[in-house]
A and B are shown apart, each in its own frame.
Chain A
């Protein structure tokens, strides 16, 4: 028999993939962000950002939209997830599939359909349409991780709480809600991360009237401002990184049954 192949060989394609499509682009973003056109090291790109009120404003506005979207998704998504996980209220798994179903359709197509819907209803496109579209697009990403944690939660906890004198309201507030926090954190990340960087959705739903930070980055890169664009992308990455830390970190979520 031929000598056995070292098992780590199987990891090689993944390693190459990660290197080419994750690590290398990140390093390049980092390098470009701290270089000027001639290639020398500089902080000029960041100074430029803070000296361009329009870009700072777009940045803050993007965060605001992302926060509003995330909060709305949470407010709408938590009760939905709770109802779906509650076997006395929801006896079929079809409901779950229905909530996840929109994810089967391409986001751009869904957004175009939303535009058509607004036209049909003669509703104006703009900020309202933008938030509606974002919530519609990202709601499943909030529902699913919360549903997952609630569904996996040991029913004996709620029984124990009832047994100790907790009314249904107290059971929810003192046991179910705190124990579902990993799912909530996971959902917040899943919604906040894509909403802050999205641009196509915003362009379509506001007829290019409202600009989000993703669009700013895209415009700069399209017009050849690679270094400035990279700096902006890095700033956005930083914000996403901070949210990740605040939502409990990956480890905690993994351990407690969140989505990622």
Chain B
């Protein structure tokens, strides 16, 4: 076992009622590291942090601190401290007593308490605020006191639960830099929870991207940004063009109906894949020899440092491009992409695969409803088949009551010429749908599948 792991999390799971919030989480944290748990709200990141702090007991799995399992130890005996999202400063104590709270409990001599509190106040640039009541402080000042109150105890690990979420943008940027500086000075391990990908990229040594209770990817900010392992990570971190593609052979990939050289190998030949190209990695050129494909600019917006442009390719796809030089709407442009900048990912799935039970000679039951479809002649009622439904065969309807099933748009990706949606049905099943219609996350939809969309395969 490696000595420099300060925290080692093994097979951690947690459910609230029927909902699995954390599902077999495994990762380790090196001593002195700044690690960020990143994900959308409800992904389980805060639950994970609260388990490390000791406020929630895991259902399964272990949390090792310096090799010892701390799962059974109450929060007040763990050598960890937390900076809470809404600070949770004690309103009946002044700034000094808030910071001294932990030290007084440890029975540290008053002289030493004073030295340490003053040192911390200096570190968070709050000298002379000792006697102020916490109610009289601004959000940013309260946050500094909260950080000082946690760090004054010299914890082995500092846990930060979206500490900057309540601050305005400018203040947040300043505090990010200060946090990084404090981390460097103290040399304490920081575990930081946020849903803000930019904050995660700025602050972290390592990012753990989470979604729906599972770890999606662990890596340095560079790894996560440049080599996302799946569509979720690519979409969540930064801007990206996510496109359907086909690996022709090693180092050669086709997408947007063009072929490109790339650096990825080992996918096999003629395999469906997803391709990610960051908007800043598509280059304009005037040289016809360099041009890989042509497109027409259809919008151009100034974003401060760069221009954000949407172009329609000659093959009917829409791509986002960021460049320092603007091109007028309507201009025909020549574009190319470096092989290095094409990130090829395994497709998570190529069609919906479900279990269907035969009801009669032309109906099956699946997803809690009955569907008309072609049933093999030798099948009898009660036989169980695997049903394959192509993404584009699922119809979504505006009114929930018009469909056989109803559901909610759970996640959506724009793939250049169509949207790829994840639909969560009312029964809790998932369906993946390709559509040209525009939906928003959270839209309630009716679901219908025409008979020809369901293909039954004997198990």
- Residues of chain A at the chain B interface (Cβ within 8 Å): 154, 156-157, 159-167, 170, 174-175, 178-179
Contacts and interface: CB of A to CB of B under 8 A. Distances in A.
A157 B90 contact: yes
Nearest to B99: A164
Contacts of A161: 90, 101
A162 B76 contact: yes
B74 interface: yes
Interface in B137-151: 149-150
A165 B102 contact: yes
Given A154-B88, A162-B75, 15 more contacts: A157-B88, A162-B54, A162-B76, A163-B82, A164-B81, A164-B102, A164-B149, A164-B150, A165-B77, A165-B102, A166-B76, A166-B105, A170-B76, A170-B105, A179-B91
B76 A167 contact: yes
B136 interface: no
Interface string B153-168: 1000000000000000
A223 B84 CA distance: 66
A163 B76 CA distance: 5
Interface in B58-88: 74-77, 80-82, 84, 86, 88
B53 interface: yes
A257 to B, nearest CB: 12
16 contacts: A159-B55, A159-B88, A160-B89, A161-B101, A162-B74, A163-B75, A164-B76, A164-B102, A164-B105, A165-B77, A165-B105, A166-B76, A166-B105, A167-B76, A170-B105, A178-B92
Contact of A165 (B76, B86, B90, B92): B76
A161 B150 CA distance: 11
Contact of A160 (B54, B77, B90, B153): B90
A143 to B, nearest CB: 22
Contacts of B54: 162
Interface of B: 53-55, 74-77, 80-82, 84, 86, 88-92, 101-102, 105-106, 149-150, 153
Contact of A159 (B84, B91, B92): B84
B88 A156 contact: yes
A190 to B, nearest CB: 22
Nearest to B102: A164
A159 B89 CA distance: 11
Contacts of A170: 76, 105
Contacts of A162: 54-55, 74-76
A174 B98 CA distance: 11
Contacts of B149: 164
B106 A165 contact: yes
B86 A156 contact: yes
Nearest to A167: B76
Contacts of B89: 160
Contacts of B53: 163
A160 B84 CA distance: 8
Contacts of A165: 76-77, 102, 105-106, 153
Contacts of B86: 154, 156
Contacts of B102: 164-165
A163 to B, nearest CB: 5
Contacts of B75: 159, 162-163
Nearest to B91: A179
Q: Nearest 5 pairs between A and B by C-beta? A: A164-B102, A156-B88, A160-B88, A162-B75, A178-B92
Contact of B92 (A156, A163, A179): A179
Contact of B82 (A154, A160, A178): A160
Residue of A161, A164, A167 contacting most chain B CB atoms (<10 Å): A164
B106 A156 contact: no
A162 B153 CA distance: 13
Contacts of A159: 55, 75, 82, 84, 88
Nearest to A171: B76
Contacts of B84: 156, 159-160
A160 B147 CA distance: 12
A48 B81 CA distance: 66
Contacts of B153: 164-165
Contacts of A174: 101, 105
Contact of A163 (B81, B90, B91, B106): B81
A115 B79 CA distance: 58
A102 to B, nearest CB: 33
A178 B90 CA distance: 10
B90 A175 contact: yes
Contacts of B82: 159-160, 163
